[in-house]
Amino acid sequence: MTETLESSKLVGQPLKRKEDARLVTGETNWTDNIQLPGMLYMAILRSPMAHAKIDRIDTSRAAQMPGVVAVYTGADLAGLGIPCVWPVTDDMVGPTFPVLAADEVRFAGDAVAAVVADSRYRASDALEGIEVDYSPLPAVIDMTAALADGADLVHSDKGTNKCYYWEFTGGDYAAAKAKAEAEGGRVFHRQYIQQRLIPNAMEPRAVVCAPMAATGEITLWSSTQIPHVVRVLLALVTGIPEQKIRVIAPDVGGGFGSKLDLYREEVIAAVVAGKLGRPVKWTESRSEGYQATIHGRDQIQDIEVACTADGTLLGLKVDLVANMGAYLQIITPGIPLLGAFMYNSIYKFEALHFGCTGVFTTTTPTDAYRGAGRPEATYAIERLMDDLAAELGVDPLELRAKNWIKHEEFPFTTIAGLEYDSGNYEAATAKATELLDYSGLRAEQARRRESGDPVQLGIGVSTFTEMCGLAPSRILSALKYVAGGWESSTVRVLPTGKVEVVTGTSPHGQGHVTAWSQIAADALGVPFEDIEVIYGDTKMSPHGMDTYGSRSLVVGGIAVLHAAERVVEKARRIAAHQLECDPADLDFEGGVFKVRGTPGAEKAIQAVAFEAFTAHDLPEGVEPTLTADSTLDPNQFSYPHGTHLCAVEVDTETGAVVIRKYVAVDDIGNVVNPMIVEGQVHGGIAQGIAQALYEEAVYDADGNLVTGTMVDYLVPSAADLPHFTTDRTVTPATTNELGVKGVGEAGTIASTPAVVNAVVDALRHLGVHDMRMPCSPQTVWRTIQTAAGASSNSNGAQS
Amino acid sequence: MIPASFDYARPDSVETALAALAAGGEDAKVLAGGQSLVPLLRLRLAYPSVLVDLGGVSELRGVRDDGDALVIGAMTTHYEVMTNALVREHAGLLAEATGTVADPAVRHRGTFGGSLAHGDPAGDLPAVALAYGAQMVIAGSGGRRTVEAADFFVDYLQTAVGPDEVLVEVRVPKLGAGWGHHYEKFHRTAQAWALVGVAALVRRSNGSIAEARVGLTNMGTTPLRASAAEAALAGVDASAAAVASAADHAADGTSPSSDLHAQSDYREHLARVLTRRAVASAAGL
Ligand SMILES: Cc1cc2nc3c(=O)[nH]c(=O)nc-3n(C[C@H](O)[C@H](O)[C@H](O)COP(=O)(O)OP(=O)(O)OC[C@H]3O[C@@H](n4cnc5c(N)ncnc54)[C@H](O)[C@@H]3O)c2cc1C
């Protein structure tokens, strides 16, 4: 291909996002903006207690309050529940999860009653008119205690707080350990804590449901990532026939996994709107969402590696305890297991043993949060690699280079059984160390240590990979997930030559409208502006598996490409017929079919579209309209990787941590729109830093959410974050035509361990070997104090 | 959550505001910038019967020079305070500390008077008012009275302003030449409240510290003066070592609270470190 053709391609260009004018000005369609004639407003009464028997609910006073249309309790909506679609083991304990608690509340914020009134204010007022008598039951908060014999139970009828134990092995860990021990190597163990996080999408959840009594249809608008999945589940749960349900995800202001669910309020709104025959709206407030929308992470990670004396890794053993919360949302139990294949990361091991115990507590259910399983895995292995390097007295980059898969070894099948198609860890790491000035900062670190500077410098490393492009359906089947991982697209060239791209992905900030337009414009040779992308409405985009797990481009974007290519093939047959040549004699360039060797004999794809519309002169066997579908089930995952380096300054007097420099070199293969990639990387890093330094959802022993508002749950803003130095290396994926890998979660996965490693690195010479997240000033200061106390004690003992 | 219903009055003078408060009875409440009150309403932690919005009372807004003091109207916003030329010239500590309050959106709505009347010991401005020895002018049905900063902050979220009164203005004395200042705020995110803050005013003369006034944010149920440290600083050499040893007394006599982000011993430690830094900076060290 010539230079000019290459540069005329739109894929790879930082085009401004088509959706931004609308989103930035707010002239758009958030669920809460929707107003329908006769609309009612719903408010949910939530349990103030973590765990209690409901002795009595009296709604009579509330029902009499001004504007109140109806009040529902668990008894009224009995039989309606949230299903778990990922029973990870045959003997998994899966409690019924009613949409309104009837007999017992099991977390602070558990839904107890629903009020429907003629205004949002009056619905809220009426919540105060509902009387509930609770008999307190013991809160179950601590995961380890919950698993002990005789523990108080979250679900007393289940006889246990254990949800499941799930195991996965590759190779023989015991043998690898024995080998390490026999050869004078090491067995190195660490325990890391993944604190509980609150996802905090910018737009809180909201639902509007409009019933159509005459036909039995309902239209449900929801601030969801997964309109297609919600439709199927809503049909299964409510019994409303699937063809009568239309789910629309209008503009959705972020999700990060928290809107990858079927929620109680969606079910209640659908059922109640049907009962009342009027549209019903529910909008979550921020503090309500802190209790009613899923939380993320919350795992205890025990990780052990066996290695030779020189640090060559042999075996890896991971034992997790993962907090499910009080109930299972749709994929709660599977989230920690998504990490099972990623603990070995970019390294070569002979053996892997992974076990995970899911445990119930009286807390808000957990589920997917940006990265879902993979940040946890990356955190543990990357923290361990820095710790092991320190233990061995080698540079952390050196230890990694010794153990990672070399670029010439791809494709490489890991000990977890995944085939990594491509990667170049050497190149990304070389670029990152140069951008950071790694050796310069190491020298400064030495000087500061030497001089006893109260502000110490630390450098943290994170070389990561992740599995993206969820997911090959056969692998989901093997994992007992009850749905597939395909994605679908339809491309239509309209009679006037304009184009509609229908996609089953459901963007909520990722810029699919722009990226899919770039892909389709290149494939069809039509202007970027001529393309409309249709999504997020089960009536207009009937087939889809929606957006999560960095899957949209790698699966959905390739489906767009395939559908567009099929359109071109159909157009080629029509053009050949009309130009009276063999289809194979046509070149397709810039949207025009040209008869090879006959200048002037040509037909543009827009003209072909009109011919396909009139259908006056189509070749034998070619049907009218210029449209084609593709439904793509990926054969493999994709494996983005990268090297993130972080330098922090730690004020040892106060414990304050300041990020001095942050370098991210990501290899996400080919790039469709570098500006969108940059945005994803920036946001991702910010979210990972948030876990490292700021955020933690805290329950007290009674099960109250102490971090109930943003005053206590600290989400950092731009003002708290450093400049990010970002760059890329490009090792195209070999598993899809565009060579793309996915970028939605990379920053979050990579950054958390880079930052915590840097904090620990700054303080290692003071005897600090670990730091619990978030590395808040108080935690850092106390850890330094404890280490100082320990070293003065041991000095005392020696002298 | 969303607020319960309330009545709303928008008077245009202090007198009519007082009348509206009196008419509203016990549960009437003044609304200034709403940056502390509205969150309480939204969480339904407050159920006022009527909100008396001072936003239309223009006499409460602005800064004037009154000879030996600046007089700052209660409804002057944080943004107006921190950018006001008189404040910057004569009350640099106030301008500096106000610039650390929350974020631009809050600073454009929140008011100086509201911050003081709210009486939150975690707020940055009470400790500053205390360090200056400011005077608060309060209007009630019986006329106006002046309360010294030292007597103004009564307890957690409790001040000398009665429920039927309005804080009208604040007199901040001009300290004159020779004084340096610094506000050292320690917080977890840019928008967050101080875990601890230290407001320092220092007068140097002939190589020593003639006088130091140190106000502490969030070291108790009210803003406090670090009296032991102030006493230890009086007359010492303006040297890092002398300041450091005096600052070791910064937490003496305080009993700060413990919360999620800071236990009391950590707050005491921070008070010492931050006092050292604030005083050193104010002393030009
Ligand atoms: C996100 C956020 C972050 C914040 N961070 C900080 C921070 O870091 N530091 C800080 O100092 N502050 C902070 N604040 C608070 C802010 O400074 C407020 O402006 C201040 O606390 C209250 O001022 P206001 O004008 O908004 O008062 P309002 O909220 O309107 O009123 C507060 C209380 O004072 C009473 N009141 C107000 N004015 C008068 C008056 N003239 N006479 C009698 N009573 C009166 C009201 O009745 C009410 O009880 C923050 C606020 C927010 C929302």
pLDDT digit string, tens, across residues B33-76: 999 999 999 999 999 999 999 999 999 999 999 999 999 999 99
Distance from CA of B263 to the nearest CA of A (A): 8
The predicted-structure confidence for A466-511, as pLDDT tens digits, reads as follows 999 989 999 999 999 999 999 999 999 999 999 999 999 999 999 9
Q: Do domains A20-26+486-632 and A377-466+638-798 have the same CATH topology?
A: yes
User: Domains of chain B: which residue ranges?
Assistant: 7-56, 58-173, 180-282
Confidence bin at A1 (pLDDT 50/70/90): very low
* Of the options 3.40.250.10, 3.30.390.50, 3.60.15.10, 3.30.2310.20, the CATH number for the domain spanning B180-282: 3.30.390.50
Confidence bin at A279 (pLDDT 50/70/90): very high
- First-to-last alpha carbon distance for chain B, in angstroms, is 49
What's the rounded mean pLDDT across residues A549-560?
A: 95
A 101-130 residues inside an 8 A Cβ radius of B: 120-121, 124-125, 128
Whether residue A131 is predicted with pLDDT greater than 80 in this model: the reply is: yes
Q: What is the ipTM of this complex?
A: 0.96
Whether residue A172 is predicted with pLDDT greater than 50 in this model: the reply is: yes
Whether residue B177 is predicted with pLDDT greater than 90 in this model: the reply is: no
**Residue with CA at minimum distance from ligand 1 atom 34:** B118
Q: Calculate Rg over the CA atoms of chain B.
A: 19
Q: How many angstroms separate the CA atoms of B272 and B279, rounded?
A: 11
Confidence bin at A260 (pLDDT 50/70/90): very high
Q: How many angstroms separate the CA atoms of B134 and A650, rounded?
A: 37
Whether residue A122 is predicted with pLDDT greater than 50 in this model: the reply is: yes
What's the rounded mean pLDDT across residues A48-60?
A: 98
Residues 6+ apart with CB under 8 A from B72: B62, B63, B81, B87, B112, B169, B170, B171, B172
Whether residue A796 is predicted with pLDDT greater than 80 in this model: the reply is: no
**Residue with CA at minimum distance from ligand 1 atom 2:** B102
Q: Is A286 an 8 Å CB contact of chain B?
A: no
Q: How far away, in angstroms, is B219 Cα from ligand 1 center?
A: 19
Distance from CA of A716 to the nearest CA of B (A): 6
Residue with tokens 């070293």: A791
Q: Is the CB of B127 under 6 A from ligand 1?
A: no
Our CA dihedral for A757, A760, A762, A768, rounded to 10 degrees, sits at: -160
Mean of all residue pLDDT scores within chain A: 96
What's the rounded mean pLDDT across residues A763-785?
A: 97
Contacts 24+ apart (CB under 8 A), B175-179: B175/B90, B175/B132, B175/B201, B175/B203, B178/B203, B178/B204, B178/B205, B178/B210, B179/B203
Nearest to A641 by CA among A491, A466, A383, A458: A466
What's the rounded mean pLDDT across residues A375-382?
A: 98
Whether residue B208 is predicted with pLDDT greater than 50 in this model: the reply is: yes
Q: Do domains B7-56 and B180-282 have the same CATH topology?
A: no
CATH for the stretch B7-56: 3.30.43.10
Q: Taking every pair of C-alpha atoms in chain B, what is the biggest distance, in angstroms? A: 61
Pairing of the two strands A52-58 and B158-159? unpaired
Q: How many angstroms separate the CA atoms of A142 and A162, rounded?
A: 13
Q: Is A695 an 8 Å CB contact of chain B?
A: no
Q: Is the CB of B35 under 6 A from ligand 1?
A: yes
What integer pLDDT is reported at residue A3 of this predicted model? 39
DSSP letter assigned to residue A82 = P
Nearest to A305 by CA among A296, A290, A318, A288: A318
Q: How many angstroms separate the CA atoms of A99 and A264, rounded?
A: 5
The predicted-structure confidence for B129-164, as pLDDT tens digits, reads as follows 999 999 999 999 999 999 999 999 999 999 999 999
Q: How many angstroms separate the CA atoms of A416 and A435, rounded?
A: 32
Report the interhelical angle of A264-276 vs A227-238 (nearest 10°).
Answer: 60
B8: its two tokens: 């709303």
What integer pLDDT is reported at residue A8 of this predicted model? 78
What's the rounded mean pLDDT across residues A738-759?
A: 97
Whether residue B103 is predicted with pLDDT greater than 80 in this model: the reply is: yes
Cβ-Cβ contacts under 8 Å, B195 against chain A: 777
Cβ–Cβ gap B270/A288 under 8 Å: no
**Cβ(A366)–Cβ(A194) under 8 Å?**
no
**Cβ(A217)–Cβ(A246) under 8 Å?**
yes
CATH for the stretch B58-173: 3.30.465.10
Q: How many angstroms separate the CA atoms of A721 and B123, rounded?
A: 24
Cβ–Cβ gap B189/A120 under 8 Å: no
**Which residues on neighbouring strands pair with residue A659, listed in sequence order?**
A648
Architecture of domain A377-466+638-798: 2-Layer Sandwich (3.30)
The predicted-structure confidence for A74-112, as pLDDT tens digits, reads as follows 999 999 999 999 999 999 999 999 999 999 999 999 999
Cβ–Cβ gap A717/B260 under 8 Å: no
Mean of all residue pLDDT scores within chain B: 97
CA B99 vs CA A214, A522, B77, B150, B151: distances in Å = 61, 51, 11, 23, 26
Cβ-Cβ contacts under 8 Å, A285 against chain B: 1-2, 42
The predicted-structure confidence for A585-606, as pLDDT tens digits, reads as follows 999 999 999 999 999 999 999 9
Cβ-Cβ contacts under 8 Å, A654 against chain B: 186, 270, 273-274
The shortest CB-CB distance from A706 to any of B189, B190, B260 is to B260
Confidence bin at A794 (pLDDT 50/70/90): low
CATH for the stretch A34-137+202-254+259-292: 3.90.1170.50
Q: How far is CA B204 from the centre of its chain?
A: 24
Question: Which of B37, B72, B154 is the best mutation target for the ligand 1 pocket, counting ligand atoms within 8 Å of the beta carbon and taking the most?
Answer: B37
Q: Domain A20-26+486-632, what fold?
A: Aldehyde Oxidoreductase; domain 4 (3.30.365)
Q: How far away, in angstroms, is B117 Cα from ligand 1 center?
A: 8
Q: How far away, in angstroms, is A331 Cα from ligand 1 center?
A: 43
The predicted-structure confidence for A394-443, as pLDDT tens digits, reads as follows 999 999 999 999 999 999 999 999 999 999 999 999 999 999 999 999 99
Q: How many angstroms separate the CA atoms of A592 and A170, rounded?
A: 53
Residue A64 burial (CB count, 10 A): 11
**Residue with CA at minimum distance from ligand 1 atom 39:** B114
DSSP calls for A20-33: HHHHHHT-S-BGGG
Residue with tokens 């722009």: A514
Report the interhelical angle of A396-403 vs A425-436 (nearest 10°).
Answer: 170
Nearest to A266 by CA among A218, A298, A322: A218
Whether residue A608 is predicted with pLDDT greater than 70 in this model: the reply is: yes
Q: How many angstroms separate the CA atoms of A164 and B128, rounded?
A: 57
Residue A134, sorted as left (phi over 0), alpha (psi -120 to 50) or beta, turns out to be beta
What integer pLDDT is reported at residue A797 of this predicted model? 43
User: Domains of chain A: which residue ranges?
Assistant: 20-26+486-632, 34-137+202-254+259-292, 377-466+638-798
Question: Which of B13, B18, B35, B77 is the best mutation target for the ligand 1 pocket, counting ligand atoms within 8 Å of the beta carbon and taking the most?
Answer: B35
Q: How far away, in angstroms, is B33 Cα from ligand 1 center?
A: 6
What's the rounded mean pLDDT across residues A253-278?
A: 97
A794: its two tokens: 């041991």
What integer pLDDT is reported at residue A795 of this predicted model? 52
Give the three-state DSSP class for A148. Answer: coil
